Amino acid sequence: MNAKQKSITIFGADGQLGVDLCAVFEGHNLEPVVYPGVDIRDRSQVGAVLDRSRPDWVINSAAMTHVDRCEDLDLAAYQVNAVGAKHVAEKCRASGARLIQISTDYVFDGKKEHPYVEDDRTGPVNVYGLTKLAGERFVSNAAPDTIILRTSGLYGTHPCWGKGQNFVDTMLELAKTKECLHIVDDEVLTPTFTEDLAVVVRSIIDKSPPGGIYHATNAGQCSWFEFARTVFELSGIRIRIEKTTAAEWNAPAKRPSYSVLDNRRLQELGLDTMPTWESALERYLNKKYPRGVDA
Ligand X SMILES: NC(=O)c1ccc[n+]([C@@H]2O[C@H](COP(=O)([O-])OP(=O)(O)OC[C@H]3O[C@@H](n4cnc5c(N)ncnc54)[C@H](OP(=O)(O)O)[C@@H]3O)[C@@H](O)[C@H]2O)c1
Which residues contact ligand X by CB under 6 A? 11-12, 14-18, 35, 39-41, 61-65, 80, 84, 102, 104, 132, 151-154, 160-162
Q: Which is nearer to ligand X, 41 or 264 (CB)?
A: 41
Q: Which is nearer to ligand X, 80 or 142 (CB)?
A: 80
Least Å distance, CB 259 to ligand X, is: 9
Least Å distance, CB 46 to ligand X, is: 9
Least Å distance, CB 63 to ligand X, is: 3
Q: Which is nearer to ligand X, 162 or 256 (CB)?
A: 162
Least Å distance, CB 147 to ligand X, is: 13
Q: Which is nearer to ligand X, 124 or 153 (CB)?
A: 153
Q: Which is nearer to ligand X, 204 or 239 (CB)?
A: 204
Closest residue by beta carbon to ligand X: 15
Q: What are phi and psi of 39, to 5 degrees?
A: -110, 115
Q: What are phi and psi of 11, to 5 degrees?
A: -90, 140
Least Å distance, CB 39 to ligand X, is: 4
Q: How far does Cα 145 stand from its chain's mean position?
A: 20
The residues that are catalytic are 128
